[in-house]
Amino acid sequence: MSDRLTSLHEAIEKVLPDLDGVLALKSGPGGIVSPYLFSKEHPEELAKLAIWPKEPVPDTLKIILRAHPDAKLAIVCRGCEERGIVEMFKHAQLGLDNLTLIGLQCEKDEAEFCRCAKPFTVHAKTIVGQPIEGVADPLTEQVSALSQPEKLAFWKQEFEHCIKCYGCRNICPQCFCNICALEDEKWVETGRLPMAKPSMYHLVRAMHMTAKCVACRECEETCPADIPMAVHFRLIARDVKEMFNYETGADMEQKPPQLLVLEEGEYDRTGLPH
């Protein structure tokens, strides 16, 4: 861990003088970590550079770039965060021309914490740490092996714990719509807890995460009810891979399925109902 921190420190120091800032994590009061924009004006802040726990930095980057579209920035990103940035780019949420990616490779305990299949970056030119293989996701396998009625019972029970904090939506790097279906009274009733139909909220979100979820697991981490929602996003991601051969964050040139216009006949190939 400390070796990686030293290497990261050096990598940031190297690019900092030429940029408007480097977005990374900083340790604050009580050792609590949060995203921070390191600047050449205050290099001494780098003494508080941190790497864990990971934070939703792609979302922070978007906030900064919306106010400063021409800023020259670097961002320290893990594999999932890099995927988040790539997908945000594909959906026109940010530009990559002025952005330097510093890829922080996850260690085994971190990958296991996230049940992560890809704890490494693939696009970043600067790499900190050694890339490792992905780890298994026992929970997703367990749910995947359930029968349909068992799955229904499992998710019904999980969703009933929801306190509708909207944290999963708020923290998600891929939730950037200006108008959110989850705030539409048609789908999600306001002013009532527990929700009359908790699966409405979660299934609407699952549908909207199709071919978008980058498996960062920020939603699961922030959920006060411990709903393992990354599991259904991952199962959907398997279908998306099978149907469209699309993996989020992987190929910079490949268009996401939402932006594809299918030619006649292609529907058969993708197996979509038509």
User: How far are the Cα atoms of 182, 185, 256 from residue 203, in angstroms, in the given order?
Assistant: 10, 15, 20
**Residues with Cβ within 8 Å of residue 224, at least 6 apart in sequence:** 163, 165, 167
**Quick check: 20 binds other proteins (CB under 8 A)?**
yes
| 72 in Cβ contact with 55 (< 8 Å) | no
**Of the candidate residues 16, 24, 36, 83, the single one contacting other proteins (CB under 8 A):** 36
Residue 69 binds to other proteins (criterion: CB under 8 A): no
Q: Smaller CB distance to other proteins: residue 55 or 81?
A: 55
Contact segment (CB under 8 A) with other proteins among 16-24, 81-89, 135-143, 252-260 equals 16-24
- Please give the Cα distance from 123 to 105 (Å, whole number): 12
Q: Is 167 in the site for other proteins (CB under 8 A)?
A: yes
Q: Name which of 17 and 265 has its Cβ closer to other proteins.
A: 17
Interface with other proteins, residue 17, by CB under 8 A: no
CA 214, CA 21: separation in Å to the nearest integer? 25
* Token pair for 111: 């990958």
What is the distance between the alpha carbons of residues 73 and 55, in angstroms, rounded to a whole number? Answer: 18
Residue 132 engages other proteins in binding (rule: CB under 8 A):
no
Cis peptide bond N-terminal to 194, omega within 30: yes
Part in contact with other proteins (CB under 8 A); list of ranges 7-15, 63-71, 91-99, 249-257: 63-71
* Residues in contact with other proteins by the rule CB under 8 A: 20-21, 23, 26, 28-37, 39, 41, 53, 55-56, 60, 63-64, 67-68, 71, 163-167, 170-171, 221-224
